[in-house]
Structure 1
């Protein structure tokens, strides 16, 4: 138990006195059982940490049955309260007995045995202790007696001594063998317990014989009646390695969070969970999955977060017995996000004032050139709605408008925003490309739900808290508060999602809520995440194996669970619509050709409009599409310079000009294809590229870097030493 070598303590004069204190030994004690309670103190999870030993919590001496204390002293150390660590009378008797081959009680005192329990190298293994160990044991026992009280020695001994099999300490012994607290052990039970100390692995008959001898020494021979049968019964429980009394029926409400918090804890952890909410969320998930069993769904997860504090109130990692992989934690597992990332994309576009909630977007077929070929996104229903407002595009979860918006925002900008919201994506924005708008990145339910919580808090982000001992939330402004409010308003708008989901569906609640669904490719993942004024709830359903579901959408899969949990959370209180920030302007709008019904729309200052006209352009804001911000270009020595041109390209603009490092780029024959594309010969260094309209107004700008070396001849023509290839 203590790492210091007893032999070393003996070998260095004076150091033997530096034995650990009682408090140090008590604090270093680790139970093999860890418990997790909810925020109110209700037990919700127990976990076995040490598979080799069964230790329960430390028990104070006053909470241990006097019968056990008396039996221990009578059997192991009659002069315990008289000697100073070594019973020299017993030592002499033992030596005399060894000389004449007669049996004696033995000379090892409780204090000497405690020394062997504290120091691992003094423990008796398969063979007897060496002379050096015995001498060390004597000196340590005397030091313990000088520095510890007798009651502390007795208490530590009863908590550290092994009894039988995996049972260590009186608490585990009492719970497993007798099904009671150590304070309730009677005289015969105490005799059996003490008999096990001297011979932990003896046969029941031998244990019963020794226990009866102890009872007779205590003048209680009547307790020997039927003792052998009782001994066989209790020892059978130890052989079967039975659970601690009550553990089999103890609540196991949060096994996944329990493993996360209780690992190596060896104590009771007070979590932020609410037992009632945890229980309801688990039941709601299981009921929904049971109803969808014919749709090839067996797994799911639910998380509930308090908006203000960041406390996790429910952490349901799986469907339990319905799952073939119940140990997989669906709250932390990474899955494709589907359409659940769209609110953050549109928030960024509104924040940058590239779009408004009323902006008209083109929901029609589009082909986008990428390094991997053409990217041709489709809507969920394979249909196109034509021109729609951004409010309708987000509310009805249309894919094409989202991809067109990402072309404006750029994958790299969107990637950086997602990182600031705690997603910790593994790849870069350019790796995901335009598919990032449709949730091609893998995210966890916990990070996704917490990001929606940032929308609920008008752009303020903080990490979550799962234990009451964790630090309280520290907020940072990750998104614009006004833009977040507008996105939240769209997600709460039943009319906005009617084009796809209708007015009545599982997303509709009797209280104010904002919600979004998502389905990944081939229906492998199904999400529903949303928030009220007080809570954010996230639900995932699918299969831990990655197998696709059969004909399941966000509204029919995860949404019913989300709705039930949200309604439960507000069973006694309402959810108030958030107050409109002072910087958000409410403006009546109309749409040309009555594309959509007239309404009052929300705008950021300077972006408000009263009439939305059908634009002739593709609805994509002018921006640099290549190179991307911060891109690194390396020069390749094996490619001729003429073939290493870096092509500047723009979107949403047919007329304009380029400015590189403060100097306009002049188009020449052979370097243009009639649009704004420009083929530039890479030159080492850091460069700033600016896109302007015909009036010289800056529309977009970025920086990139070229690495390598070129030699420029006197006539000014570049001669290749090393060439260029984009990375």
Structure 2
């Protein structure tokens, strides 16, 4: 036997010495192996380093973070050495006694213990060429494995060998390393493994696919080798319990008690190969936003509503402080990210419409708008908008129209602004609308377009920043984006002042509601058609909060408005953001731009109470006259948008005329394809035009030459030519020809 051991040792020594000069024998250091170790689960941290989410990013392996040897229980280490390598601390990579015994057993076909040491097994895990696949290793592979093991023993310490082995060794199925096994199978950290759990874990190394009974039998043998036979009692029952946990697969963190607060943002930021990302989230706000949303939806469970989303932004930096994509277990579609999903905007687009009208000096906050029934002709028929409460308020100021979210004045304002111009403004603010302005038409004023909570909240943040726009930031490693002027600062301030005005909201919402806060805030709600989407977006001088509630399926809610659905969540979050627990230094109001003038105004006929109003410099007034007609109401009644006109060649041209008609405008003018038309002297806006083939742009101009409405229509057919009369010499009758 001594001869056999000496022979094998001399043989392997010669191979090892021959490998010294070969670069192929170079192996990684312990630090390199530790550095290159990538867990299958990545961590999302908040801005302060607190774990907010743990996400599975490698579907092929279940491998948690590298665990140090001192954090693995002594019971696990002792069971491993007792089972796999009793002379681990004596040999230098190859246990020659075991090699000799194995060779002798193979010679006589007797069953012996394997000769592979822990170090040799580690060599098989580290070197790609030595990894065991479906077939046993070849003789050459076994020799190389022994050589690499001796190199490892020369360069690594014994504790490093054990630590690396326990982190890299596969146990069963997809589970790799003692950390993952402990969390999945035993629901605890590796430092807490007891003798029985350690024995079961080590038993899996020899037979990873064995039944619980076989594993229990093997574990009992390991315990007896350690002189611990008393732990074999009821070992089979315990193994059955532990194995039942192995069958529970989940994409969430595996029994690690790691927070699962931001699944949607985690999927966005955590990718394979990225172990840890430090996000811009604040763990306190993330938890509060999630809890507040769940509480509110739970209270509305009888209103057919199950989904929601929350986004909180820092105005100064664009950092996302909270990103709640769904209501979690309340939802049947919790994987859908409500922050990014496209939903109908409702009334939340109105502030940007009125801001554009202010910016163009077409309106002031004191301007009188008509909240009465209106029928607008379109290519698909009459568009007849309604207010939310089905009632009309008559003549109101723009402040009241926006604060109380009246629909008719918004539509009338869009007639002046035009859908095309408003569409361009929304696109410039990052909404990314899929269709053109003409596609949405006048309904764009009431939010018929689909938008995301992210785009909408960031657009409101632009108002909070007096028109300065920047992209949002979700990771601390992202570069800060530069601010770009997108809105007029003065107009943005006035819109913000209106949205903060409780009195302006009162006609529709009353004075006491979920839109009121202790600190200064500007806020707007929105509800889409059939109550399918419910929004509340608002901001303070420091933060912008956006909330959406509804159903991911698109099913309508039952009697849920912006004030009763999303607003309570918005209010709770905004109150917390400005409480001493979160924000020490208060910044109560927005900064007044230099070209904004505060002026006391009065209305003729006491239409609205006297008040202090803000104006862009040059537009201020003191006395507001109530006009009998408002040119903002002016519309082209005929031809309608997209209208197709056909020329009949059999009808004399003097009998074919297209009459242009307009409503709500006196002393205006027409412009066709960029050329003004001369109106008859009877002060009527009607104009009879002889059709001409092609597409035409017809515009209605007010007294100042501003476009108040426009339409595109098309004329098709043969070109008309004058009618000529000739006399038939035989009959003496006149013939008409062209």
Q: Using a 3 Å threshold, how does the CA distance of structure 1 residues 134 and 248 change in structure 2: closer, same or farther?
A: closer
Specify the SS of the correspondent of 2:234. helix
Do residues 443 (structure 1) and 451 (structure 2) align?
A: yes
Specify the SS of the correspondent of 1:615. coil
- CA drift at 1:555: 2.0
Do residues 104 (structure 1) and 112 (structure 2) align?
A: yes
Q: Using a 3 Å threshold, how does the CA distance of structure 1 residues 229 and 474 change in structure 2: closer, same or farther?
A: farther
User: In the alignment, which of 331, 342, 345 is matched to residue 337 of structure 1?
Assistant: 345
- Cα distance in 2 for residues equivalent to 1:237 and 1:148: 34
2:202 counterpart residue number: 194
TM-score (structure 1 length as normaliser): 0.81
1:428 counterpart residue number: 436
- CA drift at 1:453: 1.4
- CA drift at 1:699: 3.3
2:168 counterpart residue number: 160
Per-residue CA deviation, residues 356-395 of structure 1 (Å, 9 max, x unaligned), is: 1111112222222222122111111222222211111101
Residue range with higher mean Cα deviation, 419-428 or 13-22: 13-22
1:171 counterpart residue number: 179
- Structure 1: which 5+ runs fail to align? 1-12, 707-711, 713-727
2:706 counterpart residue number: 699
Do residues 585 (structure 1) and 597 (structure 2) align?
A: yes
Q: Using a 3 Å threshold, how does the CA distance of structure 1 residues 347 and 556 change in structure 2: closer, same or farther?
A: same
Q: Using a 3 Å threshold, how does the CA distance of structure 1 residues 627 and 83 change in structure 2: closer, same or farther?
A: farther
- CA drift at 1:488: 0.2
- Cα distance in 1 for residues equivalent to 2:168 and 2:659: 75
User: In the alignment, which of 206, 223, 229 is matched to residue 228 of structure 2?
Assistant: 223
Specify the SS of the correspondent of 1:30. coil
User: In the alignment, which of 238, 241, 246 is matched to residue 243 of structure 2?
Assistant: 238
2:422 counterpart residue number: 414
Per-residue CA deviation, residues 264-289 of structure 1 (Å, 9 max, x unaligned), is: 46634433333333333333333333
Specify the SS of the correspondent of 1:495. helix
- Cα distance in 2 for residues equivalent to 1:362 and 1:205: 83
- Cα distance in 2 for residues equivalent to 1:167 and 1:109: 22
Residue range with higher mean Cα deviation, 507-516 or 283-292: 283-292
| Maintained 8 Å contact 1:273/1:315 | yes
Specify the SS of the correspondent of 2:311. strand
Structure 1 residues 309-708: aligned runs within 5 Å: 309-572=317-580, 576-620=588-632, 654-656=667-669, 658=671, 664=675, 675=686, 699=706
Q: Using a 3 Å threshold, how does the CA distance of structure 1 residues 668 and 567 change in structure 2: closer, same or farther?
A: closer
Q: Using a 3 Å threshold, how does the CA distance of structure 1 residues 559 and 88 change in structure 2: closer, same or farther?
A: same
Q: Using a 3 Å threshold, how does the CA distance of structure 1 residues 705 and 24 change in structure 2: closer, same or farther?
A: farther
2:729 counterpart residue number: none
Q: Using a 3 Å threshold, how does the CA distance of structure 1 residues 595 and 322 change in structure 2: closer, same or farther?
A: same
- Cα distance in 2 for residues equivalent to 1:459 and 1:625: 36
| Maintained 8 Å contact 1:689/1:701 | no
Structure 1 residues 7-406: aligned runs within 5 Å: 16-17=24-25, 22=30, 25-50=33-58, 53-65=61-73, 68-69=76-77, 71-73=79-81, 75-77=83-85, 90-118=98-126, 122-130=130-138, 134=142, 137=145, 152-185=160-193, 189-204=197-212, 206-208=214-216, 210-211=218-219, 214=222, 221-227=226-232, 229-230=234-235, 232-234=237-239, 236-241=241-246, 247=255, 250-262=258-270, 264=272, 267-406=275-414
- Structure 2: which 5+ runs fail to align? 1-20, 714-718, 720-738
- Cα distance in 2 for residues equivalent to 1:344 and 1:627: 29
| Maintained 8 Å contact 1:647/1:677 | yes
| Maintained 8 Å contact 1:655/1:676 | no
| Maintained 8 Å contact 1:85/1:145 | yes
CA RMSD of aligned residues (A): 4.7
Per-residue CA deviation, residues 38-75 of structure 1 (Å, 9 max, x unaligned), is: 33344443344456643211123443345544554554
- CA drift at 1:486: 0.4
- CA drift at 1:247: 2.9
- CA drift at 1:105: 3.0
- Cα distance in 1 for residues equivalent to 2:497 and 2:341: 30
- CA drift at 1:347: 0.6
- Cα distance in 2 for residues equivalent to 1:306 and 1:396: 27
- CA drift at 1:608: 1.6
- CA drift at 1:439: 0.4
Aligned residues: 689
Per-residue CA deviation, residues 278-316 of structure 1 (Å, 9 max, x unaligned), is: 333333333333333333333333322222222223333
Q: Using a 3 Å threshold, how does the CA distance of structure 1 residues 16 and 143 change in structure 2: closer, same or farther?
A: farther
Q: Using a 3 Å threshold, how does the CA distance of structure 1 residues 59 and 457 change in structure 2: closer, same or farther?
A: same
Per-residue CA deviation, residues 454-509 of structure 1 (Å, 9 max, x unaligned), is: 11111122222333333334322221111110000000111112221222222222
